[in-house]
Amino acid sequence: MSIFPKDHLDKDGQAFWSGPKRAPSPVEFDTLNDEHIKFVLSYANLIAASLNIPQMTKIDEVRELARNTPAQPYIAKKIVVKTPEEEKENPTQQQATVAAPDDDEAIEVLLAEIAEATGKVDKAQFSPAEFEKDDDSNYHIEFINAASNLRAINYEIKPSDFAKTKMIAGKIIPAIATTTAMITGAVTAEIYKFVQGYTALEDVKNGFVNLALPLFLFSEPSEVNKIKSKDYDPISMCATKSIPEGYTIYDKTHVNKGSLTFQQLFDHLKSEIGIEITLVSSGSFSLYNAWLPGSKHASRLNRPIEEVWAEISPEALPATRPYLQLEVGGNVIVEAGADELDFQIPTIRYQFR
């Protein structure tokens, strides 16, 4: 709420909170408000049931305890947030975030408390709560009703009574089960076709199902897009050659020769496919760029590819993954005097061990 106050204006000077966007209003805890006390009552009893400690069921007793229990005032963190439109206008401006100065200390204290408590408790001391909507004494629906009503009050929405909340909760689980069964049935039917050899495009079906209407639509899927050579590509601004012709995004160029340096990979692709590489990337990481000023990446040519990746990536590659996905760019080797020709090949699956 402090990030976008009710009078906040967007970049065009229009009210940020308008139309379908409702401004939330903070609600101060009030022991005289039954909605507030019902939330405390139901929440506390859920925890008490899980910890196997005595429960307190009288609302007036809970109200009195809440009234006499001191609480530290909530202090909101100051965070500067920009809307997507503002980010587009200032893409280089970093988002400023000022966190509470004691966060790290608080985390360290909590970690120390957890370490001290480890081994001092037994799982038999706890009882997991299994949701049951028809038992009014377990406080499950009571908690849902209280929590949703407080949220409704925040956004000035009409609260619901206990009976309506119970009715809605009773419909959710059957709806989830019915939808899951429907999807499972549709997918399983396609699996039955596949294992019997029905793999032609016209044999399989896409499904669109809306159980609320109800609407069931099954259609023949479109053929996967094939990447073909072009006389002129607007991105490369020249002709491009697809290697192989008509490959799809599901195809891969396999390089399974163990650990290779960049130069060894380039030599392999030159001899096998007839292309010269000038750019190599893996996901968001640029591993090699021959066009950098001063041949900045020239020193990487004789280094193993996975070694450079590990040096750049902030996270280690899982020990069970012996390959990298590489994207490359460059030119097709053409005869002297011929026009320059870019290439497109499937993502390289470089298996280094």
Q: What is the pLDDT of residues 82-136, one digit of tens each?
A: 666 666 666 554 444 444 445 667 788 888 888 887 777 777 888 888 888 888 8
CATH number of the domain where residue 325 is located: 3.10.290.60
The reply to whether 25 falls in a domain is no
The reply to whether 18 falls in a domain is no
Note whether 243 and 334 are same-domain residues: yes
Give residue 311's domain range: 230-351
Note whether 138 and 110 are same-domain residues: yes
Note whether 295 and 260 are same-domain residues: yes
Q: What is the pLDDT of residues 206-220, one digit of tens each?
A: 999 888 888 999 999
Note whether 78 and 141 are same-domain residues: yes
- Tokens found for residue 42: 């139901």
Q: What is the pLDDT of residues 299-327, one digit of tens each?
A: 999 999 999 999 998 888 888 889 999 99
Note whether 277 and 186 are same-domain residues: no
Note whether 211 and 258 are same-domain residues: no
The reply to whether 1 falls in a domain is no
User: DSSP per residue over 296-308, as a string?
Assistant: TTGGGTTSBHHHH
- Residue 97's pLDDT is 41
Note whether 236 and 336 are same-domain residues: yes
Note whether 234 and 214 are same-domain residues: no
Note whether 205 and 311 are same-domain residues: no
51 near 30, Cβ under 8 Å? no
The overall average pLDDT reported for the chain is 86
Note whether 131 and 206 are same-domain residues: no
Q: What is the pLDDT of residues 187-245, one digit of tens each?
A: 999 999 988 988 899 999 999 988 888 899 999 998 889 999 988 888 778 888 899 89
The reply to whether 23 falls in a domain is no
pTM beyond 0.75 = no
DSSP helix/strand/coil, 279: strand
Please name which of 176, 163, 175 lies closest in space to residue 134, comparing C-alpha atoms: 163
- Tokens found for residue 330: 């460059």
> CA–CA separation, 305 vs 327, rounded Å?
13
